[in-house]
Amino acid sequence: MQVLEDITRTRRAVTGAERSGQTVGLVPTMGALHKGHVSLIHAARERCDFVAVTVFVNPLQFSVGEDLENYPHPLETDLKTCEQAGVDLVFTPGVETMYPQGAQTTVHVEGVTRGLCGSKRPGHLDGVATVCSILFNILPADRAFFGEKDYQQLVMIRRMVRDLNQPIEIVACPTIREEDGLAISSRNAYLSPSERVQAASLSRALFAAADRVKNGQREAAALIRATREEIQAGESAEIEYVEIVDPETLEPVPILDRTVRMCLAVRIGRCRLIDNVEIRG
Ligand code: AMP
């Protein structure tokens, strides 16, 4: 497994693999790798001959006051995880490499970034769109693998790739969960034991909403109300949003007459947790 920090050698490794007839899969991450990331690597391993993982904590996607300084950086452990998962190349650039002095360009996707996390974390999704565009240029892969866990991010990247005609296929991978349903996240480590118990209510409430739809409930407002109540039953939960949206446009859907996505963001203690599920109408 190659571990590279510089752009020229990384691009050469990827284009070299392609020139020798291999398909290349890219898994962009911010490190602190867990089972969710590993599932993306496995998906890439299954579908591509050469797998590249990027580990870069992207300052552009953190707002002032968010947890950039405290974001975990266990690079040695991450490299072991990548090695065990059969990764061919890990790209771990420094901030100066990704954003050299004088850089002035950012990427903004309209529409799908307006609601959900886009309205709660200004600049966050622009930071993600920008870093992914840069990574797609440095590592010109055939496919990039993203988790449904960050659903708005996935939809935005798909939109960006279509709009800018970036020559890469975006592959969506299902959310990996703990046994009690909590979506695995690097930030779960910050939950206290009682907050951790409370955090399980997010997925429980989402699955309960899906069950209500199976039993005939079609009104988004009623489903959202019930979901909020289930989560608010815990003391330390502060709901940012619970919404039912079209899976592509991310516009709110009032009546569930088709397949939708139910998305939520909740603060528990000092953690901001997000989750979502598909609900078939
Ligand atoms: P991050 O390191 O948090 O930026 O995440 C890197 C990639 O891993 C993104 O595509 C995430 O959607 C994906 N990811 C994070 N957590 C999970 C999870 N629990 N299941 C599946 N994919 C995940």
User: How far away, in angstroms, is 62 Cα from ligand 1 center?
Assistant: 16
pLDDT band at 70 (very low <50, low <70, confident <90, very high): confident
What's the pLDDT score for residue 277? 98
Portion of the chain with pLDDT greater than 90, in percent = 94
pLDDT of 281 > 90? The answer is no
**From the CB of 173, is ligand 1 less than 6 Å away?**
yes
Average pLDDT over all residues of the chain: 97
**Catalytic residue status for 37:** yes
Mean pLDDT of 156-165: 98
State how far Cα 277 lies from the chain centre: 14
Task: Take atom 8 of ligand 1 and give the residue whose Cα is closest.
Answer: 37
β partners of residue 24: 50
pLDDT tens for 79-106 read: 999 999 999 999 999 999 999 999 999 9
pLDDT of residue 66: 86
**Which of the four pLDDT bands, split at 50, 70 and 90, describes residue 243?**
very high
What confidence tens digit (pLDDT) does each residue in 166-184 have?
Answer: 999 999 999 999 999 999 9
Ligand 1: which atom is nearest the Cα of residue 145? 10
Q: What is the pLDDT of residue 197?
A: 95
| DSSP states of 164-225 | TT-S-EEEEEPPPB-TTSPBP-GGGGG--HHHHHHHHHHHHHHHHHHHHHHTT--BHHHHHH
pLDDT at residue number 67: 83
pLDDT, tens digit, 9 for 90 and up, residues 35-51: 999 999 999 999 999 99
Mean pLDDT check: name the lowest of 26-30, 60-64, 181-185: 60-64
